[in-house]
Amino acid sequence: MSLTGIVLDVSGSMKDNIKGGTDEPGGPWAQSIFKVIDDLIEHDVLSENGVFAIGAGSNCGGKEVFDVIATLQKVQNISYLKKTPATEDNINMIFDILEKNGARNIRKWAKNISLIRDIVPDHMAVLILGKLESDEQFLTKFVCEFLPSRCRDRIPTPGLINFVERKVANVVENCSVWAASIFRPSRREEILEVLKKSNCYISLQDARTDSVFSVEETSRVIRGLSEKELRTERKQELLEKVEPFIYGRSTPLYESLEKAIEIFESDTLRVNKLLFVLSDGLPTDGSNKDIARINQITSKLREAGVVTVSCFITRSTDIHPKRLYNEMSPLWERGAKFLFRLSSEVPTQLLPRAILVKRGWIIDVANNEMKLFMQVNHPEDLREACEMAHDIVYSSDTLSDLVVTVDLDIYINQNADFGVLKDEMIKAYGDDSADDIRQVLQEICPKYRLHCRKVFAKGATEAVIEKRPVVAIFFLTDDEWMAFSNFYEDYPMGILTQNELDVRRRRKSSPTSGHAVVLTSYNSKCLTFMNSWGQKWGDNGFFRIQNAVVLQLEFFDVYWTLSDLTEGEKEYYRQHGSEVAAKLVNSMKGLQKAEYICPECKQTSLVTEFTGTLSKVQCPKCIVRFKRHGEPTDGCIDDVAKINKITSKLREAGVNIVSCFITRSPHIQPKRLYDEMQLSWEPGAKFLFSLSSEVPTQLLPRAMLVKRGWTIDIANNKTKLFMQVNHPDNLREACEMARDVACCPDALSELLVSVDLDIYINQSMGGFKAKEQQGGTCYANASAAVLHLVMRRILGREGGYPDFHKLRDEIIKAYGIHGANISKVLQEICPNYRLHSQKVCIKGAMEAVVKKRPVVATFHLTGEEWKDFSNFYKTNPTGMLTQNELDVRKRPTSPPPRTSGHAVVLTSYNSKCLTFMNSWGQKWGDNGFFRVQNAEVLQLEFFDVYWTLSDLTEGEKEYYHQHGSEVAAKLVNSLKGLQKAEYICPECEQPSLVTEFAGTLSKVRCPKCSREFSTKDNAGNILALNMYLTSLSK
């Protein structure tokens, strides 16, 4: 595995020191920062390879060093948000915080709220408010730096001045009051400047040790979600988003390099590490002539196993862009000398010289050592620089490629036993392809003292490095097989990518046929396979693909262990094995002269003098053993046999395993349960998926999870208890899901959410008829119902519970019978009852319903649409309205037609529809209720009414502690179904009333046999409900 770090100088000096401008081919030079990232990761084969990019020189004070990839991700996410004006509530909450923290004059400066709403979008107001509440540094900067000075306090805090000064301060304050009439309010330009500074601070993400992204994630951020390459338009789009934050006055190169070192030092698993520095070499946080500091940095990078490649940006035309130097020229600019000293020095024999010379590079070899430093004066030279850096650091892939391929080719062409083995398998399993290659290998391997296991891509490449070719299988449809064959017929030596064949687009139901091949080698650009269609097909019987995801490959590794060898074989190896290695050592002249510095004693010896093994090498001078980085300690991540052994033991112990995979990727669904593994997942995700318990979907509390916004894959009628999380906020949902799956059957959720609501509606709305609605009073009916229900949730409410009719009449009296703005109504009415209201999206509405808070919903229809609406529920009272029956999107936009609004109450929902209570009487629709498929059908808007703990009086809190359990007990007694329902004990198989069972949700005790069991069948739902309510009433 590899880790590529990039330090990008984006300061103002870079803007001044480059030649390319906006008229250059490919756009302005600043676009190159995206191209550099894309070029360095373009040919990565393994998805677990990591990358990070640090920007040095932003124009945001205090955040001059930032995480480029995370910032791009943040800026893009913000740009997708809807641009609606900031709400007055959010603006006033911001003002409240600023007034208390030094900006006493903020309301005088920003008294034109309409102007602020016109300039500041609501999503930015929400982000600023959140930052002010949670980030003291941001609050200080906002008051002291972002706002004009006249907004700030002019008088020190009274506690900080003495009595005499206080008298003077009072005089000054009086003068300030007198001068208030001439206080200059804000101008548009000033508000825009404050918004710009705030946006800069919020958008720029700090570079931290967790700033490492996978290659796949980085590609999505840079190229876009579904793009296969970085287009010119995309580069311009990214530049427009990031340009407001760059070209700062300072260039903190030293700080950026220290950040990079921290990230490299924290990653101990990846072996190949590259740092690519793109700069003009003019740091402002230290001298570029500070040799001691430069040496300290290079020493730390070297100890962390990092190879540093530096790229000097210059306006000079007197350079060689494709040249590697072995010594510094006294004529170079100061910045070039700084970056030359920073760069890694490598022996020339370790360079892939043939590759570089073929590409037109000049390599100085006088001292037999080379600095990985180059000079560039045009953006187009950067791609060559990136390829050079990649090839030098990851050239060890070539060793694997050559050693494995040579040995394999010789074996296949010369060894006659290959045909014998093949014929044996065909005789046993037929020539029409075996049903399961895993079964074939599991049955054949033991005959030859071998083992087999299914592995991921990483395990497959590790096997190849150890000279074990790996079986690979894939499945294609007829059309995909045609595309596969045509590609290699036209391009026998080509690399197949998702541009030519994208299996993700296939329909799930499409029939496929499988094929097995052999993974023989890989490098930084592709995987190479041996096919079985003869040497005239493809590249002499071989073919290449970009990565495992292209064909959704599965891999099977065949291996032996030391314990599988006989004593005779071990003895033969001891006697003759060394002869093979000796011949190879003697044939490589470079190996006789190559030297290596011991990391322990720092002394140099010939590599042929070192002894030991790959994992433990012994120095010939200090006799100390040292180890390679990245050695596994307790097993392989893709050891399927070991994983199965663990899960089997846990299952036998009656344990449910819920796994939560932590990732930085933004391209996941945190609230989703899967029924099968995705090939595009990271290895860690695949490992945890394999570890997780599998449960039948009928045992999941689906209604509860769906109501909370979870997606549940149920194609195979089984679901894995595995989820992915990319933010701490998601962890609470994950924990709740784990608890609910283990403890709470489906019907429990359905009944608890709906029973209280249904009882209330049937009692309080029983006498309500459609004729009682006069004019446009639907808003009053919906508001009154929701207000009453919310207050009913406060046990022992002081002031009692206003009757629905009383509430409705009060609202109509205040706002009339011809309709009203429901947002205004709720904002003005709610405080009278210690309640709050807020406009929410559909997700917020669903969350409110799950918490037993019905939500006001409004929609607007034209005259014709109202006819369609009424006719549908007249003929289908229990039906579900979809866009097939009523599509408001087809409504003309110019001129917009006249519409009339209506308010209803969202009472519940499930995976298929939303259910609303109307105000047209119980004879309309389904006893006064109706269903729509989703919020888009009627373009619904939602308003949530709620109270918080701080809104309750001390008396109300005390009442709940004393009487809360009584409510649960009454509910148990009021549910007639619970009193009569029976359940058959799975132990003694005798029926008893559910109310006679004792225990808890996880352990129920039978009243007849006294044995304990768990209720995990469908019939146990009502029993589980009784257990739950009984526990509440105790």
- The pLDDT tens digits of the residues spanning 104-145 come to 999 999 989 999 999 999 888 988 998 898 888 899 999 999
Residue 424 banded pLDDT, cuts 50, 70, 90: confident
Average pLDDT over every residue of 340-344: 94
Q: Tokens in use for 540?
A: 């002499």
Counting the structural domains of the chain, the total is 7
**Is 418 inside a domain boundary?**
yes
Residue 797 banded pLDDT, cuts 50, 70, 90: confident
CATH of the domain at 543: 3.90.70
DSSP β-ladder status, 914-917 and 929-932: antiparallel
The mean pLDDT value of the chain amounts to 76
Tens-place pLDDT, residues 36-45: 777 777 655 5
State the Cα–Cα distance between residues 250 and 64, nearest whole angstrom: 7
Residues forming beta bridges with residue 74, ordered by sequence position: none
Question: For residue 203, is pLDDT > 80?
Answer: yes
Q: Is 10 exposed, middle or buried (0-12, 13-18, 19+ CB in 10 A)?
A: buried
State the Cα–Cα distance between residues 345 and 337, nearest whole angstrom: 14
DSSP 1019: G
Question: For residue 399, is pLDDT > 50?
Answer: no
Query: Are residue 921 and residue 1029 in the same domain, yes or no?
Result: no
Q: Is 1026 helix (H, G, I), strand (E, B) or coil?
A: helix
Q: Is 464:521 a contact under the CB 8 Å cutoff?
A: yes
Q: Is 114 helix (H, G, I), strand (E, B) or coil?
A: helix
For residue 737, which of 779, 709, 756, 772 has the smallest C-alpha distance? Answer: 709
Q: Given this model, what pLDDT does residue 354 score?
A: 53
**Taking CA 74 as the corner, what is the angle to CA 73 and CA 76, rounded to the nearest 5 degrees?**
65
Q: Is 10:33 a contact under the CB 8 Å cutoff?
A: yes
State the Cα–Cα distance between residues 262 and 629, nearest whole angstrom: 17
Those residues whose C-beta lies under 8 Å from the C-beta of residue 183, and which sit 6 or more positions away, are: 105, 108, 109, 150
State the Cα–Cα distance between residues 73 and 34, nearest whole angstrom: 13
State the Cα–Cα distance between residues 318 and 390, nearest whole angstrom: 26
Residue 922 banded pLDDT, cuts 50, 70, 90: confident
Q: Is 257 exposed, middle or buried (0-12, 13-18, 19+ CB in 10 A)?
A: buried
Query: Are residue 367 and residue 437 in the same domain, yes or no?
Result: no
State the Cα–Cα distance between residues 658 and 331, nearest whole angstrom: 64
Q: Please state, as a whole number, how many other Cβ atoms lie within 10 Å of the Cβ of residue 971.
A: 19
Which residue shows structure tokens 């050693």?
Answer: 403
CA 1033 vs. chain centroid, Å, equals: 42
**Is 138 inside a domain boundary?**
yes
Question: For residue 924, is pLDDT > 70?
Answer: yes
Tens-place pLDDT, residues 161-180: 343 344 334 444 444 443 44
CA-derived radius of gyration, the chain: 35
The residue range of the domain holding 658 is 640-746
Percentages of the chain per state (helix, strand, coil), in multiples of 5: 45, 15, 35
Q: Given this model, what pLDDT does residue 38 score?
A: 76
State the Cα–Cα distance between residues 194 and 443, nearest whole angstrom: 71
For residue 993, which of 980, 1004, 1002, 1006 has the smallest C-alpha distance? Answer: 980
Q: Is 578 exposed, middle or buried (0-12, 13-18, 19+ CB in 10 A)?
A: exposed
Which residue shows structure tokens 């602020």?
Answer: 116
Q: Is 278:9 a contact under the CB 8 Å cutoff?
A: yes
DSSP β-ladder status, 65-67 and 323-324: unpaired
State the Cα–Cα distance between residues 586 and 583, nearest whole angstrom: 5
Q: Please state, as a whole number, how many other Cβ atoms lie within 10 Å of the Cβ of residue 319.
A: 16
Q: Given this model, what pLDDT does residue 164 score?
A: 38
State the Cα–Cα distance between residues 1020 and 1016, nearest whole angstrom: 6
Query: Are residue 784 and residue 896 in the same domain, yes or no?
Result: yes
Residue 580 banded pLDDT, cuts 50, 70, 90: low
Q: Is 543:488 a contact under the CB 8 Å cutoff?
A: yes
Q: Is 246:59 a contact under the CB 8 Å cutoff?
A: yes
Q: Given this model, what pLDDT does residue 504 score?
A: 85
Query: Are residue 831 and residue 867 in the same domain, yes or no?
Result: yes
Query: Can you list the pairs that 996-1002 forms with residues at least 24 positions away whose Cβ atoms lie under 8 Å?
Result: 997/1023, 997/1026, 997/1027, 999/1027, 1000/1027, 1000/1031, 1001/743, 1001/744, 1001/1027, 1001/1028, 1001/1031, 1002/742, 1002/743
Q: Is 666:480 a contact under the CB 8 Å cutoff?
A: no
Q: Please state, as a whole number, how many other Cβ atoms lie within 10 Å of the Cβ of residue 120.
A: 21
Q: Given this model, what pLDDT does residue 628 score?
A: 37
State the Cα–Cα distance between residues 45 and 397, nearest whole angstrom: 11
For residue 384, which of 50, 32, 53, 2 has the smallest C-alpha distance? Answer: 32
Q: Tokens in use for 76?
A: 């893009």
CA 460 vs. chain centroid, Å, equals: 26
Q: Given this model, what pLDDT does residue 393 score?
A: 63
Question: For residue 855, is pLDDT > 70?
Answer: yes
Residue 967 banded pLDDT, cuts 50, 70, 90: low
Residues forming beta bridges with residue 626, ordered by sequence position: 617
Query: Are residue 340 and residue 263 in the same domain, yes or no?
Result: yes
Query: Are residue 319 and residue 233 in the same domain, yes or no?
Result: yes
**Is 760 inside a domain boundary?**
no
**Is 163 inside a domain boundary?**
no
**Is 594 inside a domain boundary?**
yes
Query: Are residue 815 and residue 915 in the same domain, yes or no?
Result: yes
Residue 401 banded pLDDT, cuts 50, 70, 90: very low
Residue 206 sits at φ, ψ, to 5 deg, of -70, 145
Query: Are residue 738 and residue 788 in the same domain, yes or no?
Result: no
Least confident of 16-25, 752-761, 892-901: 752-761
Q: Please state, as a whole number, how many other Cβ atoms lie within 10 Å of the Cβ of residue 552.
A: 16
- Domain ends where: 359, 394, 429? 394
Distance (Å) of CA 167 to CA 104, 153, 170, 171, 172: 20, 17, 5, 7, 9
Query: Are residue 197 and residue 220 in the same domain, yes or no?
Result: no
Q: Given this model, what pLDDT does residue 487 score?
A: 94
**Taking CA 692 as the corner, what is the angle to CA 688 and CA 698, rounded to the nearest 5 degrees?**
145
Those residues whose C-beta lies under 8 Å from the C-beta of residue 156, and which sit 6 or more positions away, are: 165, 169
Tens-place pLDDT, residues 482-501: 999 999 999 998 999 988 99
Query: Are residue 584 and residue 659 in the same domain, yes or no?
Result: no
- Domain ends where: 578, 604, 626? 626
State the Cα–Cα distance between residues 194 and 327, nearest whole angstrom: 49
- Whether the CA torsion 385, 390, 393, 396 is positive or negative: it is negative
Query: Are residue 774 and residue 733 in the same domain, yes or no?
Result: no
Tens-place pLDDT, residues 873-890: 999 888 999 998 998 888
Provide the b/e sequence for 481-507 (b: ≥16 CB within 10 Å).
eeebeebbeeeeebbbbbebbebeeee
Residue 721 banded pLDDT, cuts 50, 70, 90: confident
**Is 540 inside a domain boundary?**
yes
Which residue shows structure tokens 């991700």?
Answer: 73
Roughly how many angstroms between the first and final C-alpha of the chain, as a whole number?
57
Residues forming beta bridges with residue 278, ordered by sequence position: 8, 311
Q: Given this model, what pLDDT does residue 576 score?
A: 62
State the Cα–Cα distance between residues 99 and 86, nearest whole angstrom: 19
Those residues whose C-beta lies under 8 Å from the C-beta of residue 629, and which sit 6 or more positions away, are: 268, 271, 305
Question: For residue 390, is pLDDT > 90?
Answer: no
Residue 318 or 637, more confident: 318
Residue 899 or 798, more confident: 899
Q: Is 124:81 a contact under the CB 8 Å cutoff?
A: no
Q: Is 124:86 a contact under the CB 8 Å cutoff?
A: yes
State the Cα–Cα distance between residues 392 and 309, nearest whole angstrom: 10
**Is 453 inside a domain boundary?**
yes
CATH of the domain at 214: 3.40.50.410
DSSP 329: -
DSSP 634: S
State the Cα–Cα distance between residues 895 and 889, nearest whole angstrom: 14
Question: For residue 999, is pLDDT > 90?
Answer: no
Query: Are residue 691 and residue 708 in the same domain, yes or no?
Result: yes
Q: Please state, as a whole number, how many other Cβ atoms lie within 10 Å of the Cβ of residue 602.
A: 9
Q: Is 704 exposed, middle or buried (0-12, 13-18, 19+ CB in 10 A)?
A: buried
**Is 70 inside a domain boundary?**
no
Question: For residue 280, is pLDDT > 80?
Answer: yes
Residue 708 banded pLDDT, cuts 50, 70, 90: low
Q: Given this model, what pLDDT does residue 932 score?
A: 94
Q: Is 398:523 a contact under the CB 8 Å cutoff?
A: yes
Average pLDDT over every residue of 213-231: 76
Greatest Cα-to-Cα distance within the chain, rounded to the nearest angstrom: 107
State the Cα–Cα distance between residues 630 and 932, nearest whole angstrom: 56
State the Cα–Cα distance between residues 508 and 512, nearest whole angstrom: 10
- Domain ends where: 394, 429, 456? 394
Give the helix ranges, DSSP H, for 353-469: 353-358, 382-393, 396-414, 417-429, 437-444, 457-465
